[in-house]
Amino acid sequence: MATYHHLYTNDPTAGGTDGTMVSEGRLFTSPIIATLNASESETKYIKCAIRCDSNYYSVGEASLTLGSWNGGSYSPGGGNTGKFALCKDKSTAGSITYTLSAVPSVGDQGKFGDVTLKAGTDFAIGSSVDENASNITTAINAKSQYYNATVSGAIITVSEKFPGFGHTPAGFSYPENYIKCTFSTPVTSVAADENTMKAATDWADTLTYTEPITDKNVVFWIRVQATTDEAPQRDESVGVLSYMTIAASA
Protein backbone atom coordinates (compact mmCIF):
# COMPACT_ATOMS: atom_id res chain seq x y z
CA MET A 1 0.00 0.00 0.00
CA ALA A 2 1.18 3.53 -0.71
CA THR A 3 2.14 5.67 2.27
CA TYR A 4 0.89 9.28 2.33
CA HIS A 5 0.42 9.42 -1.45
CA HIS A 6 -1.94 7.82 -3.97
CA LEU A 7 -2.93 7.64 -7.64
CA TYR A 8 -6.29 8.89 -8.89
CA THR A 9 -8.37 8.26 -12.00
CA ASN A 10 -11.85 9.20 -13.28
CA ASP A 11 -10.79 12.48 -14.95
CA PRO A 12 -8.88 14.21 -12.13
CA THR A 13 -8.33 17.97 -12.43
CA ALA A 14 -4.78 19.34 -12.51
CA GLY A 15 -4.19 21.22 -9.28
CA GLY A 16 -7.41 19.87 -7.76
CA THR A 17 -8.20 17.26 -5.15
CA ASP A 18 -10.79 15.30 -7.13
CA GLY A 19 -10.73 11.95 -8.90
CA THR A 20 -11.22 8.40 -7.66
CA MET A 21 -8.37 6.85 -5.70
CA VAL A 22 -6.89 3.85 -7.52
CA SER A 23 -7.00 0.63 -5.52
CA GLU A 24 -3.69 -0.64 -4.15
CA GLY A 25 -2.22 -3.96 -3.08
CA ARG A 26 -4.03 -5.90 -5.85
CA LEU A 27 -7.44 -5.32 -4.27
CA PHE A 28 -8.95 -4.34 -7.66
CA THR A 29 -11.79 -2.43 -5.97
CA SER A 30 -11.06 0.64 -8.11
CA PRO A 31 -8.46 -0.27 -10.74
CA ILE A 32 -7.41 1.70 -13.80
CA ILE A 33 -9.48 0.04 -16.55
CA ALA A 34 -9.14 0.03 -20.34
CA THR A 35 -11.28 -2.25 -22.52
CA LEU A 36 -9.68 -2.68 -25.95
CA ASN A 37 -10.61 -4.29 -29.26
CA ALA A 38 -7.46 -6.18 -30.16
CA SER A 39 -8.73 -7.03 -33.65
CA GLU A 40 -8.55 -3.30 -34.45
CA SER A 41 -5.24 -2.70 -32.62
CA GLU A 42 -7.12 -0.24 -30.44
CA THR A 43 -5.31 2.29 -28.24
CA LYS A 44 -6.73 4.19 -25.29
CA TYR A 45 -5.45 7.14 -23.29
CA ILE A 46 -6.33 7.31 -19.60
CA LYS A 47 -6.00 10.50 -17.56
CA CYS A 48 -4.63 9.93 -14.06
CA ALA A 49 -3.05 11.94 -11.27
CA ILE A 50 -0.76 11.53 -8.31
CA ARG A 51 -0.96 13.58 -5.12
CA CYS A 52 0.08 13.37 -1.51
CA ASP A 53 -2.24 13.33 1.47
CA SER A 54 -3.04 16.66 3.07
CA ASN A 55 -0.01 18.24 4.81
CA TYR A 56 2.51 15.98 3.06
CA TYR A 57 4.81 16.48 0.06
CA SER A 58 7.59 14.68 -1.79
CA VAL A 59 11.24 15.48 -1.16
CA GLY A 60 13.86 15.18 -3.87
CA GLU A 61 13.26 13.19 -7.03
CA ALA A 62 10.02 11.21 -7.38
CA SER A 63 9.17 8.68 -10.08
CA LEU A 64 6.39 6.55 -11.50
CA THR A 65 7.22 3.42 -13.45
CA LEU A 66 5.41 0.46 -15.00
CA GLY A 67 5.78 -2.84 -13.21
CA SER A 68 4.67 -6.45 -13.60
CA TRP A 69 3.37 -8.97 -11.10
CA ASN A 70 5.69 -11.92 -10.61
CA GLY A 71 3.40 -13.95 -8.37
CA GLY A 72 4.58 -12.44 -5.10
CA SER A 73 5.20 -8.75 -5.77
CA TYR A 74 5.47 -6.12 -8.49
CA SER A 75 8.84 -5.28 -9.99
CA PRO A 76 9.77 -2.68 -12.64
CA GLY A 77 9.41 -3.74 -16.28
CA GLY A 78 8.85 -7.23 -17.62
CA GLY A 79 5.63 -9.07 -18.34
CA ASN A 80 3.12 -7.11 -20.41
CA THR A 81 4.45 -3.65 -19.52
CA GLY A 82 5.46 -3.16 -23.17
CA LYS A 83 1.78 -2.66 -24.04
CA PHE A 84 1.61 0.34 -21.71
CA ALA A 85 3.34 3.73 -21.59
CA LEU A 86 3.34 6.83 -19.38
CA CYS A 87 3.47 10.51 -20.30
CA LYS A 88 3.32 13.78 -18.39
CA ASP A 89 0.27 15.92 -19.05
CA LYS A 90 0.48 18.22 -22.10
CA SER A 91 -1.98 20.87 -20.93
CA THR A 92 -1.23 24.49 -21.80
CA ALA A 93 -0.41 26.68 -18.82
CA GLY A 94 -2.16 30.02 -18.56
CA SER A 95 0.52 32.73 -18.55
CA ILE A 96 1.26 36.41 -19.09
CA THR A 97 4.25 38.75 -18.88
CA TYR A 98 4.23 42.00 -16.94
CA THR A 99 6.91 44.53 -17.94
CA LEU A 100 7.56 47.22 -15.33
CA SER A 101 8.03 50.67 -16.83
CA ALA A 102 8.72 52.78 -13.71
CA VAL A 103 9.85 52.52 -10.10
CA PRO A 104 6.65 52.37 -7.98
CA SER A 105 5.82 54.76 -5.19
CA VAL A 106 4.69 53.79 -1.69
CA GLY A 107 1.09 52.53 -1.88
CA ASP A 108 1.08 51.80 -5.62
CA GLN A 109 -0.65 48.50 -6.28
CA GLY A 110 -1.19 45.94 -9.01
CA LYS A 111 -2.73 42.51 -9.43
CA PHE A 112 -0.29 39.86 -10.63
CA GLY A 113 -2.14 36.62 -11.33
CA ASP A 114 -4.28 36.02 -8.26
CA VAL A 115 -2.48 38.32 -5.80
CA THR A 116 -2.78 42.08 -5.34
CA LEU A 117 0.48 43.64 -4.19
CA LYS A 118 1.05 47.05 -2.64
CA ALA A 119 4.45 48.71 -2.95
CA GLY A 120 6.15 49.25 0.39
CA THR A 121 3.80 46.77 2.09
CA ASP A 122 3.94 43.51 0.15
CA PHE A 123 7.37 44.11 -1.37
CA ALA A 124 10.28 46.45 -0.72
CA ILE A 125 10.66 49.36 -3.12
CA GLY A 126 14.03 49.14 -4.86
CA SER A 127 16.01 51.86 -6.54
CA SER A 128 15.65 50.50 -10.09
CA VAL A 129 12.93 49.03 -12.26
CA ASP A 130 14.74 45.69 -12.45
CA GLU A 131 15.16 45.48 -8.68
CA ASN A 132 11.45 46.10 -8.19
CA ALA A 133 10.57 43.45 -10.76
CA SER A 134 12.68 41.00 -8.78
CA ASN A 135 11.04 42.00 -5.49
CA ILE A 136 7.56 41.67 -7.00
CA THR A 137 8.44 38.21 -8.35
CA THR A 138 9.51 37.07 -4.88
CA ALA A 139 6.23 38.37 -3.42
CA ILE A 140 4.15 36.60 -6.08
CA ASN A 141 5.83 33.28 -5.37
CA ALA A 142 5.30 33.73 -1.62
CA LYS A 143 1.61 34.62 -1.88
CA SER A 144 0.13 33.06 -5.03
CA GLN A 145 -2.03 29.96 -4.82
CA TYR A 146 -2.21 29.29 -8.56
CA TYR A 147 0.92 30.73 -10.19
CA ASN A 148 4.70 30.64 -10.30
CA ALA A 149 6.65 33.75 -11.31
CA THR A 150 10.06 34.23 -12.90
CA VAL A 151 11.90 37.44 -13.74
CA SER A 152 14.33 38.64 -16.40
CA GLY A 153 15.29 42.29 -16.06
CA ALA A 154 12.05 44.27 -15.90
CA ILE A 155 9.92 41.40 -17.28
CA ILE A 156 7.92 39.21 -14.89
CA THR A 157 6.42 36.01 -16.31
CA VAL A 158 3.52 34.49 -14.40
CA SER A 159 2.44 30.92 -15.28
CA GLU A 160 0.00 28.40 -13.84
CA LYS A 161 1.51 26.04 -11.30
CA PHE A 162 -0.79 23.33 -12.66
CA PRO A 163 -1.25 23.74 -16.44
CA GLY A 164 -4.83 23.31 -17.61
CA PHE A 165 -6.39 24.17 -14.23
CA GLY A 166 -8.32 26.98 -15.94
CA HIS A 167 -6.61 30.02 -14.45
CA THR A 168 -5.59 32.47 -17.18
CA PRO A 169 -3.86 35.56 -15.69
CA ALA A 170 -4.74 39.04 -16.90
CA GLY A 171 -3.38 42.57 -16.94
CA PHE A 172 -4.54 45.25 -14.51
CA SER A 173 -5.11 48.98 -14.15
CA TYR A 174 -6.22 51.32 -11.38
CA PRO A 175 -7.49 54.90 -11.71
CA GLU A 176 -4.50 56.09 -9.69
CA ASN A 177 -1.65 54.78 -7.56
CA TYR A 178 -0.99 51.73 -9.72
CA ILE A 179 2.25 49.93 -10.50
CA LYS A 180 3.19 51.03 -14.03
CA CYS A 181 3.26 47.97 -16.29
CA THR A 182 2.63 46.85 -19.83
CA PHE A 183 1.19 43.39 -20.49
CA SER A 184 1.53 40.69 -23.09
CA THR A 185 -1.48 38.95 -24.58
CA PRO A 186 -2.36 36.20 -22.08
CA VAL A 187 -1.86 32.56 -23.03
CA THR A 188 -5.13 30.77 -22.26
CA SER A 189 -5.12 27.80 -19.91
CA VAL A 190 -6.22 24.69 -21.84
CA ALA A 191 -6.56 21.20 -20.37
CA ALA A 192 -5.13 18.39 -22.50
CA ASP A 193 -7.47 15.76 -23.94
CA GLU A 194 -6.93 12.44 -25.71
CA ASN A 195 -6.21 14.15 -29.03
CA THR A 196 -3.54 16.29 -27.36
CA MET A 197 -1.90 13.24 -25.84
CA LYS A 198 -1.96 11.29 -29.10
CA ALA A 199 0.44 13.88 -30.51
CA ALA A 200 2.89 13.48 -27.62
CA THR A 201 6.24 11.95 -28.59
CA ASP A 202 7.79 11.32 -25.17
CA TRP A 203 5.83 8.30 -23.96
CA ALA A 204 8.01 6.16 -21.69
CA ASP A 205 7.94 3.45 -19.03
CA THR A 206 9.05 5.87 -16.29
CA LEU A 207 8.19 9.46 -15.35
CA THR A 208 10.51 11.52 -13.15
CA TYR A 209 9.46 14.57 -11.13
CA THR A 210 11.97 17.01 -9.69
CA GLU A 211 9.43 19.52 -8.35
CA PRO A 212 7.66 18.54 -5.10
CA ILE A 213 4.41 16.61 -5.41
CA THR A 214 2.01 18.16 -2.91
CA ASP A 215 -1.62 17.57 -1.92
CA LYS A 216 -2.79 18.84 -5.33
CA ASN A 217 -3.23 16.61 -8.39
CA VAL A 218 -0.26 16.26 -10.72
CA VAL A 219 -1.80 14.84 -13.89
CA PHE A 220 -0.18 12.17 -16.07
CA TRP A 221 -1.53 9.83 -18.73
CA ILE A 222 -1.37 6.10 -19.41
CA ARG A 223 -1.47 4.76 -22.96
CA VAL A 224 -2.75 1.21 -23.38
CA GLN A 225 -2.38 -0.67 -26.68
CA ALA A 226 -3.76 -3.96 -27.97
CA THR A 227 -2.46 -6.01 -30.90
CA THR A 228 -4.31 -8.24 -33.34
CA ASP A 229 -2.57 -11.41 -32.17
CA GLU A 230 -4.23 -11.29 -28.75
CA ALA A 231 -7.22 -13.42 -27.78
CA PRO A 232 -9.80 -11.84 -25.44
CA GLN A 233 -8.31 -11.72 -21.95
CA ARG A 234 -8.30 -9.86 -18.68
CA ASP A 235 -4.84 -8.59 -17.73
CA GLU A 236 -4.24 -7.75 -14.07
CA SER A 237 -0.49 -8.20 -14.24
CA VAL A 238 0.62 -4.59 -14.85
CA GLY A 239 0.76 -1.90 -12.17
CA VAL A 240 2.07 1.63 -11.73
CA LEU A 241 4.81 1.76 -9.11
CA SER A 242 5.66 4.98 -7.25
CA TYR A 243 8.98 5.84 -5.64
CA MET A 244 9.33 8.94 -3.49
CA THR A 245 10.40 10.24 -0.12
CA ILE A 246 7.55 11.89 1.80
CA ALA A 247 7.83 14.68 4.36
CA ALA A 248 5.24 16.37 6.56
CA SER A 249 4.49 20.07 6.15
CA ALA A 250 5.52 22.30 9.01
Closest Cα partner for 96 from 182, 176, 191, 166? 182
Task: Show me where the domains of the chain are located.
Answer: 5-88+192-248, 95-183
CB neighbour burial string for 80-99, b if at least 16 within 10 angstroms, e if fewer: ebebbbbbbbbbbbbbbbbb
Rounded distance between C-alpha atoms, residue 65 and residue 81, angstroms: 10
| pTM over the 0.75 mark | yes
Can you give the pLDDT of all 250 residues of the chain as single tens digits? 578 999 999 999 999 999 999 999 899 999 999 999 888 889 999 999 999 999 999 999 999 999 999 988 999 999 999 999 999 999 999 999 999 999 999 999 999 999 999 999 999 999 999 999 999 999 999 999 999 999 999 999 999 999 999 999 999 988 789 999 999 999 999 999 999 999 999 999 999 999 999 999 999 999 999 877 777 778 889 999 999 999 998 7
For residue 14, the Cα-to-chain-centroid distance in whole angstroms is 6
